[in-house]
Structure formats: C-alpha cells, structure tokens
Amino acid sequence: MPWILIIQNLRAHKMRTLLTVGSLAVAVFLLCFLKTVLVSLEAGVAASATNRLIVQSAVSLFVDLPHNYQPKIEAVSGVAQVCKLQWFGAYYKEPSNFFAQFGVDTDRLQDTYPEVKLLDGSWEAFRTSRTACLIGVGLSRKFGFKLGSRIPLIGTIFPRSDGTPWEFTVAGIYESKSANVDNSTLWFDFKYLDESLRSGAAEGPIGVGVFTLRVQPGIDPTRVASDIDALFDGGPLRVQTTTEAEFQRQFVTMLGGVPMLLNSIGGGVLFAIVLAVLNTMLLSFRQRFHEIGVMKALGFTDGVAFGVLLIESLVICGSGGFVGVAASALTADTFAAAMSQILPTFQITASTVASGFGLAMLIGLMAGLFPAWQALRLECIEALRAEV
Amino acid sequence: MRTPPLVYNFYSLLVRWPSTLLTTASIGSTVAVIAGVMALQQGFASLYELGGRDDILVFLRPGATSEGESAFPKDRARIVMMETPEILFDKAGWPMAAGELYLAVRRAKEDGGETNVPIRGVPQTSLTLSAPRLQIVEGRAFAAGRDEVMVGKSLVGRIQHCRLGDTIRINATGFKVVGIFSYDGPFQSEIWGDIDRLGQVLHRPTLSRVVARARPGADVAALAKRLESDKRVPVKVMTEKEYLESQTKAISWTLWLLGSFLAVVMGTGAVFTGTNSMLAMVAARTHEIGILVTLGFRPVAIFSSFVMESIFLGLAGGALGCLLVLPLHGMSTGTTNFQTFTEVAFAFQVRPIVLVTAVGLATVLGLLGGLFPAWRAASAKPVDVLRRV
C-alpha cells in the first residue's frame, strides 16, 4: 500500500482533514457522554450486593413502617442483621444544594454496608455522638466540609418546630468502593431524628422508611424475602421485600422515557456524523478523480485505489475517535462534579471508551466504502479524460 | 454595492446536489435533535401551565417545596380554612376550601415495571373547586365515605387496574374504579378518592395541603407574608399557578441544560461539516470566481454572495429539521417529576417557538460554516484564479 500517498493526501487538504477529524471528535465525545449517562443510571443496579434485601412498604415509597417491625424481621430465619434507613430530604442553604441524607442505626451501618470505607475520622465518634454524621468524599469536595465541620440542614419533610435548621457535626468522611452507594450521601443517627420527633422538637411522620438487611451466608435471599412479605400480609401495613438490585431499579424505571430519549439523541448524532464523513470522503474522491486515473495508468491495481480511499477514511475517523474519546475521558471528572446531584455515580467506563472508538472506526468504514468502491470501478481512460 | 444574483448561488447548490444534500441533512438532523429536546421541555412545561389558576390558593407547611413533603395536622388545617378572610365563602356560609391528602403510591405499569402514581384523598368540596376543569368522561365521581376512586384519563392504558370497574388494592383494602376524569394538567395522571377512607387505609392522619378559592381581589402576596410568620398556624401560601410553575423548574432546567449542551456540541460538528462543503464548493469554482472578479464584482460582494449561499444551506437544513421533528408533536411520553417523585404523562409540543428556534439555529450554523470559505473566495486574486485551468 502506498502509505506516503495517503499521508500526502491528508496533508494536501489540511483544513478539510482537520474539520472532519474535529466533527468526528465532537460526535464521539457526545456519544461517550450519553453512553456514560446511561451506564451510570444502571450502575447502582449493576453493583448491588446480592446478599442485601430491602424491606419497604408495599403501598408507597413514602409510607413509613413501624419501629416494631425490626425485631420481627430480625426473627426471620436466615436474617443476619437489620438496619433502619430513613430518607431525610433536607437541604443545605438552598433547595438546589440537594444531596441524599439518611437517618441510620449508627452501630449497624458498617456491617450492613461494608463497601463504605472511612478516609478520615472514626466509626467510634460517629456512634457515640448523637449529632454526628458521616459524609461522602464527594460532599466534602463540593462544599468544602471537613472533619468537625458543622452542617446546617433545613428540613422539608422533618422541619424543626422552632424553625431553625438541623445541625450535624462531621465525624467521618467515607469513600464507597461500589457504585450502589454514592459518594454524596450524609448519614446520621436515626435516634436523633426519632427522639426529636417524639419530644416535639421536630415535626413529621414517626417511622422507618426502609429496613436494609443482610442475609446469612449460604441462605437463599428469595426465600427470606417471601417469608418477610408473608409475615405482614394481613396488614395493617403490608411490606414488599426486594433485592437491592430491584430496589435500585425502581428509581431507573421512574425515569420513564429518559433512557429512550438519550438513545434517540445518540441516534441523531450518529446519523449526522455519518453524513458529514461521507460528504468529506465523496469530496475527496471527486477531487482525486484525475489522480486515480494517473495511478491506474501507472499500473497501480484497482485494489490499491480502493485501499487508498478506505484507509484515508479510517485514518480520519480513527484520529477523530481518539480525540473524542480522550476528550471525554479527560472531562469526565468535571462532568461528574457538575452532575453530582442528579447523577452521583457518573463515571466513564472502559467499555464506553472502547465502544466510542469502535464506533468511529465503523463510521470510517461505512463512509469510506462507497467512494472507495467507486474508485475501484473507475475506468482509467474515463478518469484521465475528465476535467478537474 | 452589486452582488452576483442570488439565482447564481441557488443553481450552484443544485448542480452540486450530493454535497448540498449531505450538508442539509447533517444540519437538519442536528437541528431536529435540539428541537426534539425543546419540544419535550415545552410539553412538560405546558402541562403545568395549563393546570394553574390565579384564583385558587394553595396552602403548604412552611419549608415544604411540594405537597409530597407537606403535612398538616387536621385541626391546624381547619383553623386556616375557617379563619382566613381571603377565602371565598359559599351561599351557605361555608369556606370554599378543602384539605387534601396526597401520596405517591407504588403501582405496576401495564408494560412492566413499577412507578409512583399520585393518589389524592379529597372531600367533596375539592370537586366543586376543580369544576369545570375536572370533567368525568366515563362513569361517575366517587361517593363520599365509600371505597371508590376515580382515575385520571392519562393513567388508563398505562397503569394496571386503572380501567372502569377494576379494583385498586391499597394495603388490605380494595377501591373500586367508578369513574375516569379529564383535567388539563398534571392532575390527569392522578387517582382521586374519598379523603377519610384513604386516610384510614393509608394510616395517614395528616393532610398534605389546603386548597381554597380566593375572594375576588384578594392580595395573595400580603396573605403569604402574613401567614408565613403567623404564631399559631404558620403556613406557606401561593396561587395554584405559582405552585404548579414551581414544580416544573427542576425538569425544565435539566432539559434546557441538555438542549444547550447539545446545541453547542452538535452545532460545532455541523459548522465543521458546513465549512467543509462550502470550501469544496469554493475550490471547485475557482475559475468562476475569477470571472466574477474580472467582471468587476468587489471582494465584499463575492464574500456576501458565498455567505448567502451558505445561509441557504442552513435554511434548507432548518426546514428539514422542522419536517423531522413535526411527527413528534402530540406523541405522549412519561417521566418522573422528582419534585414529588411521581410519574406524569405528557405529550411533545412542537410549538411555533420550537420551529422558529430550529430555523434560527440552522441559519446561524449555515452562516458560521460559510464565513471562512467565503473569505477565502473573496481574497482570490483575479490573475491567479484565471490562470489556473
């Protein structure tokens, strides 16, 4: 293959080559971004632990369960440990500064979620102080909270009766080793919330949002789940016990048409870019009409004429793909920080990178084939006769 | 200043139709994607715009940003209803106000999976307050004190057990679907039933909000200010219109952000493609440009001529984009409004503003793509270009 010819062609039309590489890079970047959003939406489901079950109300995500369900659930055979979780729904300064907060059993959190690792602070401090909290490393980066910082939170579901914000002191900063627990959560003592509600210092429903439980090793989680459901089937409040994956999936399902929307945007991007590259390659072929005739007259085979155009297309798309993938990998952290509220698990994966690059090469193949095939079929005499 | 006739540019585009077509399609699909996102945002926002009224007051607990979070003890709600002079009274002397219970309940979708559907426990006064906007299209309204519900039209066919005669099970009690109602706005995705029965079955002793008809000329801003700092019953008051608009902010903002992000990124790609095509057109017409210059056309005239040609390309792309996005109009979709964590059904709305934006954006893309090639054409020297054969 006359490589020098291919390189010279690309260099002869620097502007065109650069613009095509640029538009391809932009498209690949966008596709990687959309794919990352889709993958991240599912990340929580994919990373869920198989030995954890969630007990929630069968009626609604917003109906609390009574405290006294905890010992009953614990008594079911195969259950290792049960931890309370209550969604707090408060905000820091402005409603737009939203992040997840949960009231939990402080002495059980570590065993229930072994993927939560402390980077700073201690479990001991978290367990002993009533107003202590653990925060994710993402929150610490975003808001600058440090060990010992006091975080005022304005209650929405649970406002304090005197109208003041709740205040929590950071006793530890964690990092999660798995995507099912995000790094933007604040955990605090369930007892603090419960006592405030009972004493009238705060208002809101008294109860437990969900119970998270660990199943003993070697026990079938499905059997445990149906045993728990059966326990409360007669009411007054029926429960629905699911694996952590199913629990996470309900939030993905809630998005309704969003994944489909993102997919169709991706389709539109793909369509536009295939047309753009095809346009470039056709222009390239048209301008080289004469040249191909000369090549053939000099004795280069049809195969070489075919190869030159196809490889040109692949080189353009390969470099565009490379730039696009590199750009999305380099900006991933910025996007992750910007979207930490809506998509705390935003993270670009190796398979996204690979598919982005693969797609670019596929576009190169598709856009290069037609002009290359025309070059292959071109009659030497006809090409030489043509005016440029 | 004389410019070459526009028909010259027009024919050039026709003669080089493969390139014209591909560039048009490239700009068109870019614009279509952005217009699609915009139509989605418009559809979502219009749902909430339609439902809101200025003469209906909404009372929430202070601090609550939606009725999903808000909770009132019943006695406090009664004080608000009886002792707010801004509320209109009916002929019998009762305030036209209703305490409502709102809860997102877990329901199975017809096409699989679960979603959260709002269920609203209401007294009969709510039906009076929402007439004539609420209309029963099938069956009848639920009766007070009975285990009956009526469902919004948008739920039928989307959520299981939402057809006339079905039974919706909540905890251990079955509620019979006796009616289907239409109601422009988010309410059409809700289930309505008797407040006392639903309150008992759901174990919810509290109310979520109070709605009331305002006395004509009532000063809502002053009322809101007064009640916010009320010692006995502090509440947050706003008109229904304001309330519903506040509910769309998060999603509208997200979609707006997505649309702008796509416009910048995809637009860059489209400008690159346009520049490429126009460069090729200029290169292929070197000789012609030389003749134009020799004929006495000024470089500025040639520049604007080529920019016009590129704008034509953009306009054609814009038209194509509009054609591509039009079939979306009226297509229904659903998503969760994270303000209340409930799913609402709505339809894409390709409004005039969407089409105008699409064509405007396409024109800008065409213009930007044409600038550099036109400059290159205009800077050609007559001798140089005529010499080359």
Contact: A276, B269; criterion CB under 8 Å: yes
Contact: A275, B106; criterion CB under 8 Å: no
How distant is the Cα of A20 from the closest Cα of chain B, in angstroms?
A: 7
Contact: B266, A30; criterion CB under 8 Å: yes
A123 pLDDT tier (thresholds 50, 70, 90): very high
Tell which residue, B161, B160, B140, has the closest CA to residue B150. Answer: B140
Those residues with Cβ within 8 angstroms of residue A7's Cβ, 6 or more apart along the chain or in another chain = none
- Facing B270 at nearest CB: one of A240, A264, A272: A272
Contact: A62, B341; criterion CB under 8 Å: yes
CA atoms within 13 A of residue A27's CA, in its CB half-sphere:
39
Contacting residues of B for A261, CB less than 8 Å apart: 37, 40, 333
Contacting residues of B for A156, CB less than 8 Å apart: 63-65, 69
Contact: B272, A20; criterion CB under 8 Å: yes
pLDDT at B92: 85
A367, B22 Cβ separation under 8 angstroms = no
- Which two tokens mark B357? 């934006």
- Which two tokens mark B109? 């979708």
DSSP B95: B
A26, A159 Cβ separation under 8 angstroms = no
CA atoms within 13 A of residue A264's CA, in its CB half-sphere:
15
pLDDT at A274: 82
Say how many Å lie between the first and final Cα of chain B, rounded.
Answer: 29
- Greatest mean pLDDT among A98-107, B13-22, B215-224: A98-107
Selected residue of A31, A34, A99, A156 to mutate for chain B interface (largest B Cβ count, 10 A):
A156
What's the mean pLDDT in A224-234? 88
Position A240 pLDDT exceeds 80: yes
B388 pLDDT tier (thresholds 50, 70, 90): low
Position B17 pLDDT exceeds 70: yes
- Which two tokens mark A317? 């798309």
How would you write B223-242 as a 3-class SS string?
HHHHHHCCCCCCCEEEEHHH
- Which two tokens mark A322? 């490379």
State pLDDT tens for residues B56-99: 999 998 878 888 888 888 888 888 888 888 899 888 888 899 99
pLDDT at A264: 87
Contact: A279, B116; criterion CB under 8 Å: no
In chain B, which among 82-101 make CB contacts under 8 A with chain A?
Answer: none
| B18/A contact by beta carbon, under 8 A | yes
State pLDDT tens for residues A314-369: 999 999 999 999 999 998 888 887 777 667 777 888 889 999 999 999 989 988 89
Q: CA B6 to CA A180: how far, in whole Å?
A: 61
How distant is the Cα of A141 from the closest Cα of chain B, in angstroms?
A: 23
Say how many Å lie between the first and final Cα of chain A, rounded.
Answer: 25
Q: CA B57 to CA B68: how far, in whole Å?
A: 17
Q: CA A15 to CA B276: how far, in whole Å?
A: 8
Q: CA A283 to CA B140: how far, in whole Å?
A: 67
- Facing B343 at nearest CB: one of A20, A62, A256: A256
For chain B, what percent of residues have pLDDT higher than 70? 98
CA of B264: which chain A residue's CA is closest? A26
Name the burial class of residue B140, with classes exposed (0-12), middle (13-18) and buried (19+) by CB atoms within 10 angstroms of its CB.
Answer: exposed
**A148 Rama class: left (phi>0) / alpha (psi -120 to 50) / beta:** left
φ, ψ of residue A368 in degrees (nearest 5): -85, -25
Q: CA B371 to CA B109: how far, in whole Å?
A: 52
Contact: A59, B62; criterion CB under 8 Å: no
pLDDT at B163: 92
* Largest Cα span, chain A: 97
Q: CA B70 to CA A318: how far, in whole Å?
A: 55
- Which two tokens mark B267? 């637009």
Q: CA A361 to CA A320: how far, in whole Å?
A: 9
Tell which residue, A306, A318, A44, has the closest CA to residue A182. Answer: A44
A268 pLDDT tier (thresholds 50, 70, 90): confident
How distant is the Cα of B2 from the closest Cα of chain A, in angstroms?
A: 30
Indicate the average pLDDT of chain B.
Answer: 87
DSSP B61: -
Contact: B335, A258; criterion CB under 8 Å: yes
Position A388 pLDDT exceeds 70: no
**A90 Rama class: left (phi>0) / alpha (psi -120 to 50) / beta:** beta
Contacting residues of B for A26, CB less than 8 Å apart: 265-266, 268-269, 272
Q: CA A75 to CA A213: how far, in whole Å?
A: 12
- Which two tokens mark A318? 């390969």
Contacting residues of A for B320, CB less than 8 Å apart: none
Q: Which amino acid belongs to residue A193?
A: L
A136: which strand partners?
A174
How distant is the Cα of B335 from the closest Cα of chain A, in angstroms?
A: 5
Question: Distance of CA B377 to CAs A14, B81, B197, B275, B281, Å?
Answer: 17, 75, 78, 13, 10
φ, ψ of residue B206 in degrees (nearest 5): -95, 170
| Domain coordinates in residue numbering, chain B | 6-50+247-387, 56-215
- SS3 state at B350: coil
How distant is the Cα of B132 from the closest Cα of chain A, in angstroms?
A: 31
Residue with tokens 């080089």: B16
Pick the more confident residue, B339 or A139. Answer: A139
Q: CA A287 to CA B19: how far, in whole Å?
A: 13
Strand-strand pairing, B173-182 and B148-152: parallel
Selected residue of A56, A63, A263, A370 to mutate for chain B interface (largest B Cβ count, 10 A):
A63
Q: CA A311 to CA A7: how far, in whole Å?
A: 10
pLDDT at B59: 92
- Which two tokens mark A281? 């390659």
pLDDT at B180: 95
B1 pLDDT tier (thresholds 50, 70, 90): low
Contacting residues of B for A283, CB less than 8 Å apart: 19, 276-277, 280
State pLDDT tens for residues A51-75: 899 999 988 888 889 888 999 999 9
- Facing B71 at nearest CB: one of A60, A204, A253: A204
- CB B376: neighbour CB atoms within 10 A? 17
- CB A224: neighbour CB atoms within 10 A? 22
